[in-house]
Amino acid sequence: MDALTRRVLKTQEPVPTGGMEKVRRFFRFYGVQILLFLFVVYVLFALSRLGISPKRISEGFTQGKVFLSRLFPPDFITRWDDIRHDMLESLEIAVVASIIGILLSLPLGLLGARNLMPSVVTWPVRLFISLARAFNPIIIGIIFVKAVGFGPLAGLLTLSVASVGFIGKLFIEAVEEISMKQVEAVRASGASFLSVIRFGVLPQVSARFIGFGMYQFDSNLRNSTTLGIVGAGGIGGTLFAAYQRFDYRIVCAIVLLIIGLIILDEYVSERVRRVFQ
Amino acid sequence: MSEAILQIRNLSKSYFHKQPVLHDVSLDVKPEEILIIIGPSGAGKSTLMRCINHLITPSSGHIYFKGLDIPSLHGNQMRACRRRIGMVFQEFNLVERLTVLENLLIGRLGYMKPLDAFLQRYAAEDIDAAEALLTRLGLREFALKRADNLSGGQRQRVGIGRALMQNPELLLVDEPTSSLDPKTSVEVMEIMAELARERHIPVLVNMHDVNLARRFADRIVGMREGRIVFDGKKEELTNDTLAKIYGGDSWMH
């Protein structure tokens, strides 16, 4: 409780006499301050448990300088064929997974919206979407690599599930925020349910859906560069292998290429979003 | 006047137990008349109107529209009945991101096959009718503008056009001028009354502007707290009756 509220309340409430009453009043007045204090204590405790001290930090930076000097100049040539193939594979996984995710999320977004559907429909749909979002893509990737074997198929499935988890939820929220007045008007014309969706709902959400789809593609592109670490296809596999062989100049080349790809993607998705405003 | 086109009998609606919004309402709408319902906010005017096209299901009572008992209709029958009743809304309720022409053609959706509707394959005569109507409404040059670019008066004229595109046999008009300035209000009411009379469509209007109601109504009904407390010609609407409808008379002076 802040000082101002405390001061006003002190003048309004009788001073308690009983022991328990006094304790309760103390916690009510100073609860937030106590919580804040405990939080600061926990952060200091966590740092000490992790062994992070000024000495450890300065050792880390010395090691970092050596590592940085071994990164340059980047080596694009030695493994160029592998790098090219895997970069393209990452891109392909991201594109196809985004499209699958969007196609699945469209109906799920409508079925999960509580302003359009009864709870017997929205409840299972929302549960499914929550489960799809529950795990980090790396964990889903490990499961799919075991289930369908190494390679891009596992990555594709992983990112499709992740896409449904995120854009499914965003689509539902977008549909739940629409103006029901426009929907009412289309219903009043005697239009069928499908027409109500097509003319009353979709025009209100289509621009946002495209924005969310592009956003998910950005995210899928980033994730598709790490999935190779668990064997689910893409550039991550080559990157990880280069790390393990201490080929830091190749690592540097791959990292630079990923940065270039992400910048290019940011540029393209910005343009696409502007077109559909 | 001949046989009523719409007969409402003992209609009640409550959203919460023992708190009726409509209380045993009975009302006839006759062919080609402009019937205006006045009353304070919360009198149940909008609920009554939404019961008529079954956007709301009443708790009890009947609404007979050309031999159909509307509250008992479901599914396709209900939608087939709805398309014969046009509705105009207080806040226009246009689909903002569609063009003016597309908004008018929404009035045809109830008549189209599902796939044609989905792909916006409108019949040529529907498009011609929509363009002719836009010309009458003075919106011809706005046909391909998006609805959210229009002013209030223009939007409400699109709303009227959309309802008329249904070729309705009854027009429900819910507070058409509450979001408009006084001059635009009169203009909108004029074009609506003119088009309705031309097409011999009876019109049921909700509003709380008494002067506007006097100007355009053939008949006036006063509602208060879910009941009809006045039903007569506009000449019969005295200050005493108004005091009964709105409560007190200090607001009149």
**Reduced 3-state DSSP string for chain A:** CCHHHHHHHHHHCCCCCCHHHHHHHHHHHHHHHHHHHHHHHHHHHHHHHCCCCHHHHHHHHHHHHHHHHHHCCCCCCCCHHHHHHHHHHHHHHHHHHHHHHHHHHHHHHHHCCCCCCCHHHHHHHHHHHHHHHHCCHHHHHHHHHHHHCCCHHHHHHHHHHHHHHHHHHHHHHHHHCCCHHHHHHHHHCCCCHHHHHHHHHHHHHHHHHHHHHHHHHHHHHHHHCCHHHHCCCCHHHHHHHHHHCCCHHHHHHHHHHHHHHHHHHHHHHHHHHHHCC
Asked whether B100 and B147 are in contact (CB, 8 A), the reply is yes
What is the ipTM, given to two decimal places? 0.88
Smallest CA–CA distance from B165 into chain A, residue? A189
- The tens digit of pLDDT for each residue in B140-198 reads 999 999 999 999 999 999 999 999 999 999 999 999 988 889 999 999 999 999 999 99
Across chain B, mean pLDDT equals 90
DSSP state of B208: S
Q: What is the mean pLDDT of residues A55-76?
A: 84
Smallest CA–CA distance from B52 into chain A, residue? A188
Tell me the chain A residues in contact with residue B91 when contact means C-beta distances shorter than 8 Å. Answer: 181
Q: Across the interface, do A185 and B95 touch by the CB < 8 Å criterion?
A: yes
Higher pLDDT, A77 or A87: A87
Tell me the chain B residues in contact with residue A182 when contact means C-beta distances shorter than 8 Å. Answer: 93-96
B146 touching chain A per CB within 8 A: no
DSSP state of B207: E
User: What pLDDT is stored for residue B2 in this prediction?
Assistant: 56
Domain of residue B136: give its range.
32-49+80-252
Residue B227 CA to residue B251 CA, distance in Å, equals 22
CATH number for position B137: 3.40.50.300
Q: Across the interface, do A198 and B118 touch by the CB < 8 Å criterion?
A: yes
- Residue in A221, A133, A136, A144 with CA at minimum distance from that of residue A173: A133
Q: Provide the sign of the torsion angle of the four alpha carbons B55, B61, B66, B68, taken in this order.
A: positive
Query: Which of A179, A180, A182 has the highest number of chain B CBs within 10 A, making it the mutation to test binding with B?
Result: A182
Query: Which of B65, B85, B109 has the highest number of chain A CBs within 10 A, making it the mutation to test binding with A?
Result: B109
Q: Is the pLDDT of residue B1 over 70?
A: no
DSSP state of B44: S
Provide the residue count of chain A: 277
Count of structural domains, chain B: 1
Smallest CA–CA distance from A206 into chain B, residue? B97
Does residue B245 sit within a domain? yes
Does residue B56 sit within a domain? no
Q: Is the pLDDT of residue A242 over 80?
A: yes
User: Strand order of the sheet with strand B68-69?
Assistant: B19-29, B6-16, B60-65, B68-69
Residue A224 CA to residue A89 CA, distance in Å, equals 9
- The tens digit of pLDDT for each residue in B188-222 reads 999 999 999 999 999 999 998 888 999 999 999 99
- The tens digit of pLDDT for each residue in B81-109 reads 999 999 999 999 999 999 999 999 999 99
Tell me the chain B residues in contact with residue A201 when contact means C-beta distances shorter than 8 Å. Answer: none
- Per-residue pLDDT band for B47 (boundaries 50, 70, 90) equals very high
Q: Across the interface, do A190 and B89 touch by the CB < 8 Å criterion?
A: no
- Residue in B166, B172, B160 with CA at minimum distance from that of residue B8: B172
What stretch of H or E contains B79? helix B75-82
Paired tokens of A256: 């630079």
Q: Is the pLDDT of residue A100 over 90?
A: yes
CB atoms within 10 A of CB A91: 18
